[in-house]
A and B are shown apart, each in its own frame.
Chain A
């Protein structure tokens, strides 16, 4: 059953959802579901990599799944800079579709756009995952070849967003697809812990708010050309003293 405008009569609308659900049912639930759904996404769309992030407060936070090193690097870069398409998607509650990062004027994340030119990323698509007013995370896709998603591809992407949202809700124990599986807090990635610890040290050392402390950490990382996790690790192991971070 094909839909008008669907060039491929063998892919009915609803098939992406069915394909993802089939992949999920074979899994162990919890984070395994996130990974399976992420991998299914790379199969279903003309993209080279996918990552799924959880929001923490009002920002994109921990990476739950990254399909390759490139997208993992993209996320580290966004987290280091505190800006990027995922940040914009979370802030505006709308998808951020960038067909060609090299040439599009990225007004919301100029520094990120410059830094990312070192990576083989042509197009980026960031979709917020939300339940009503609550932001749960984002699903980010990249492709080496620039270009937009077609209308049909966008339809598939939005179906994937819907399934992924249910998976994240499932992690909290609320998903309507009950066999996706609840996950314990301890099992969720906590890779940013060292960054939060370093933030705490800065809060005490500089007598500033958490927000200011994180900004200074990010600024130092950017100026020294390093990822924020690495700077944070140096701070918590005292290889880098708090006094060396600019106020």
Chain B
């Protein structure tokens, strides 16, 4: 059973609880604690600005987030016990002169932990986003597997993205990586879709939708569609 502390802003998933339904976050500043053996799925739509996860031994966190409004967001994940896992998936879509700053920290403090962060985004107008992702692996955190991947499509000449991934590793027996890609639409894909009868506008919209939806592939179709509604709606305004 979920315990929502009074006066806020802390959610604790008790030990050995497999949370079936996703938890939607609504507060600006939140702490989520997964006790030993717990599993939880957390959703966030532009709500939280400062989010901290404490993931204990043998627990699994699945976090899904979308950003469609300007602002600043800090997400910190601390893996506090062996075999703790955290999977973070996000998508952002900004246009006009929206600016956004996203800071993500994945901190591995124990052996045999895993954290994967996947982010997809698209910028139009003169939107500006800066992404700072840090992976820290403590000296004792051997057999850590950690990754940070972000990809962005720029839709206009005034848009700008800054990507600053950071790896700080103090144990040799790990697999850590980060990757970043920034670019434009693949013209070949656009051409293919147009050759199938779609207008260029429709083709762009479909390609963007699938690009932004890719981090959420593990959700079932209905949940994914519901979760991505704000993004889809904004895409229709933009493209």
> Does chain A bind chain B?
no
